[in-house]
Structure formats: C-alpha cells, structure tokens
Amino acid sequence: MAETPATAAPAPSPTAAPAAPAIKKGSLVRVNRQAYANSLEAQASDAAAPHYIFEGPAEVLLIKGDYAQVRFRRPVPDVWLRSSQLEAYPA
C-alpha cells in the first residue's frame, strides 16, 4: 500500500535544536525542575523537594538503563533518578 501524505511521518526540521550532551559516569549534573515535577520519583518523595537537587552539582556515579545514580555534595544518601530528569551542570 502506498502511504498518503496524511499518514506519512513529518520530516525532521532543519532548525531542530542540537541534542543535549549525553550524561555519562563522572558528569556533573543537576535535576531539571520541570522534568521532575510530576514524575514517579517526585510522587514517591516528600511533597517539597529539597532545593539542593535543583541547584547542583551532583556527580553521576552509575548508569543502568534509563536511570542514573547521583551523589550530591552534601551528607545525604545517593539517589537514583531517570536520566531524562537530569541536565548538565553549567561550568
């Protein structure tokens, strides 16, 4: 069957933003407030997230699948967060 223009996938835009740098072990990151807001991780935690997770920096210790284990520079336990909720810490 031939595809009709209505069902064809749109072509990628030439002005699309470049992909964010991949988060890897040792990267300094912080939590993206908008991505974290209504996530499963936010619902499983206190209603008010601590401010330091949004300020950063945190170091990525381990990556397994879609999740990254991060350690904050505070006397708190390491946490697992989805990689999509993390953003590179500005240098």
pTM for this entry = 0.71
How do the domains of the chain map onto residue ranges?
28-88
Helices (H), 1-91: 33-37, 40-43, 52-55
Residue 6, pLDDT > 60, answer: no
pLDDT digits (tens, 9 = 90+) for 16-32: 444 456 789 999 999 99
Confidence of residue 10 (pLDDT cuts 50, 70, 90): low
pLDDT digits (tens, 9 = 90+) for 30-88: 999 999 988 888 888 888 888 999 998 999 999 999 999 999 999 999 999 999 999 99
What is the C-alpha separation between 42 and 15, in angstroms, rounded? 33
Let me know: does 58 contact 87? Beta carbons within 8 Å: no
